[in-house]
């Protein structure tokens, strides 16, 4: 293996994570997450798939211009136009990488690519060489390696390394692998490929069988020195290997892995919350490392043990991953400069003074409602402000909702549609149902409500509630997020944001589709 003193963390939250249904992010949101990943000290940030859309291209380019301490990567199919577009997007980066891939499993080569194995190898070599003509750092992936034949993997990887690939990725694209078998695959590839010592071997595991982290760790134990993962395990279908779990497993079990990452783990929980807020994918309470219950103890025996000696029932310290480190930093008497400074520390920067003023006004209003303002509240304020500043067909002007025992709930709303105000009202089985029906009585969107989720942003009865609404129309899925100390208002905001997203139309091209 090439000399490496640490396990490389390749974060693909902004690319594979964004392929979760409804998780599409705009450029500003991607940049916020990229800055959080940089603060985490992620080695490589896969910022997107540059050719998928103009928006993806601009987001990758903006991240390449802004991030200095991480390598910026763009995905590209093994096609000249993809590779050239990726190269253009990452050109401003201090350190750039092109990640090109082609399918290698018999089922993919036959039914998707409709190519013979030798043709696939030729195209892989040609693509790696073209990528190397743009950058020195080229990664090559064998798509669906988990179902590929070992002999063929050896052939194509050897050829890709000879062509100039310095990182070789073995993805379990469909989450088919089992840890013992996947680890053995990595071991055999490293032993059988003559030039394996000239590349870092990487893994990218999906969680269809709940084994993404286990498979990744099995690969690391057999010599893989890069893991591709996402914050909160976000990703297509059941998701990807979770960055926080990979990092803390390796760090906690140094007796087995004898290698560590460069990740600054104290920023894990803030990054998790940021990704959850932006994408509208809440973190389950029992999620390892970043879930609300991750360091909570209900059992009296456990509580007693922890009080006597923490290590009896805790293998990590909560503060080491960012829990309980977000102290109160601002209040109702804080000024604009203190507000701006704290936002910058959180990686939040508004493009215009108008946006900053709007956010500050929201902060002051929130400070009048709740005594303690936490970083999570500031993240929600920033997200809410940007949603309001973006052009959208629909907006909430004001609302009144009546919910009384023995009386059918009723919602009265004033909505703006294309700049014109309309008054609507409706009854429902509850205040939220009445609110949504009132909105639909005007917009008649034709959407199906797939998810309605409520989470508290911080603790306490005065906490802001964060609502996620998932809508589907014509096969397109979007997530809308709204936050407010009034959960009904938060629900209306979330529904309206989802309507604005779905009204914009446009579907990103999936990076694993055959070329047309």
Whether residue 240 is annotated as binding a ligand: the answer is: yes
Give CA separation, 188 vs 191, 194, 196, 443, in Å: 5, 11, 11, 59
Give CA separation, 465 vs 208, 292, 293, 369, in Å: 31, 15, 18, 13
The phi and psi torsions of 433 (rounded to 5 degrees) equal -60, -45
| Cβ atoms 39, 68 nearer than 8 A | no
d(CA 259, CA 65): 31
Give CA separation, 159 vs 140, 150, 155, in Å: 11, 14, 6
Whether residue 151 is annotated as binding a ligand: the answer is: no
Q: Helix 353-369 crosses helix 336-345 at what angle (to 10 degrees)?
A: 100
d(CA 241, CA 217): 10
d(CA 142, CA 146): 9
Give CA separation, 362 vs 332, 383, 509, in Å: 11, 11, 37
d(CA 140, CA 75): 10
d(CA 215, CA 302): 30
Whether residue 204 is annotated as binding a ligand: the answer is: yes
d(CA 400, CA 408): 14
Give CA separation, 476 vs 23, 276, 506, 512, 513, in Å: 11, 20, 9, 18, 17
Give burial (CB, 10 Å; 0-12/13-18/19+) of 9.
buried
Residues near 196 by Cβ (< 8 Å), separated by ≥ 6? 1, 157, 161, 189, 190
d(CA 366, CA 332): 8
Whether residue 134 is annotated as binding a ligand: the answer is: no
Q: List the binding residues.
A: 16, 204, 206, 240
Q: List the binding residues for Mn(2+).
A: 16, 204, 206, 240
């Amino acid at each position: 293996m090439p000399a490496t003193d640490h396990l490389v963390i390749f974060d693909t939250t902004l690319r594979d994570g964004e392929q979760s249904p409804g998780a599409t992010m705009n450029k500003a949101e991607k940049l916020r997450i990229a800055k959080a990943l940089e603060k985490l000290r992620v080695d490589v940030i896969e910022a997107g798939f540059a050719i998928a859309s103009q928006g993806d291209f601009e987001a990758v380019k903006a991240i390449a211009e802004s991030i200095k301490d991480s390598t910026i990567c763009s995905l590209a199919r093994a096609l000249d136009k993809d590779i050239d577009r990726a190269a253009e997007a990452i050109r401003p980066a201090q350190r750039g990488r092109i990640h090109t891939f082609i399918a290698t499993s018999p089922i993919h080569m036959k039914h998707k690519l409709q190519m013979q194995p030798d043709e696939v190898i030729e195209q892989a070599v040609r693509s790696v060489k073209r990528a190397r003509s743009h950058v020195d750092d080229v990664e090559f992936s064998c798509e669906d390696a988990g179902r590929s034949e070992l002999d063929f993997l050896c052939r194509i990887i050897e050829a890709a390394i000879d062509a100039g690939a310095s990182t070789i990725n073995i993805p379990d694209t469909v989450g088919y692998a089992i840890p013992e078998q996947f680890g053995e695959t990595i071991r055999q590839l490293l032993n059988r490929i003559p030039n394996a010592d000239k590349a870092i071997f990487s893994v990218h595991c999906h969680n269809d069988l709940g084994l993404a982290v286990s498979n990744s760790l099995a690969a690391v134990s057999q010599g893989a020195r890069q893991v591709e993962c996402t914050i909160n395990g976000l990703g297509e279908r059941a998701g990807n290997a979770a960055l926080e779990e990979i990092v803390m497993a390796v760090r906690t079990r140094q007796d087995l892995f004898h290698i560590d990452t460069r990740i600054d783990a104290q920023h894990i929980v803030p990054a998790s919350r940021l990704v959850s807020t932006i994408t509208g994918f809440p973190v389950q309470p029992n999620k390892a490392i970043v879930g609300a219950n991750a360091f909570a103890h209900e059992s009296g025996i456990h509580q007693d043990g922890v009080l006597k000696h923490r290590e009896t029932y805790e293998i990590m310290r909560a503060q080491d991953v960012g829990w309980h480190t977000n102290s109160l930093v601002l209040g109702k008497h804080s000024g604009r400069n203190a507000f701006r400074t704290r936002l910058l520390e959180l990686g939040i920067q508004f493009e215009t003074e108008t946006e900053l003023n709007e956010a500050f006004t929201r902060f002051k209003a929130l400070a009048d409602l709740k005594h303690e303002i936490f970083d999570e509240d500031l993240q929600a304020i920033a997200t809410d402000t940007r949603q309001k500043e973006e052009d959208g067909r629909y907006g909430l002007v004001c609302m009144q909702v009546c919910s009384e025992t023995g009386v059918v709930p009723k919602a009265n709303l004033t909505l703006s549609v294309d700049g014109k105000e309309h008054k609507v009202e409706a009854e429902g089985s509850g205040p939220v149902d009445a609110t949504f029906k009132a909105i639909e009585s005007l917009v008649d969107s034709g959407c199906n409500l797939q998810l309605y989720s409520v989470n508290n942003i911080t603790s306490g009865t005065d906490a802001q509630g964060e609502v996620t609404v998932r809508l589907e129309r014509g096969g397109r899925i979007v997530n809308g997020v709204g936050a407010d100390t009034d959960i009904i208002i938060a629900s209306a905001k979330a529904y309206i944001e989802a309507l604005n997203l779905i009204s914009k139309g446009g579907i990103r091209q999936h990076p694993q589709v055959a070329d047309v």
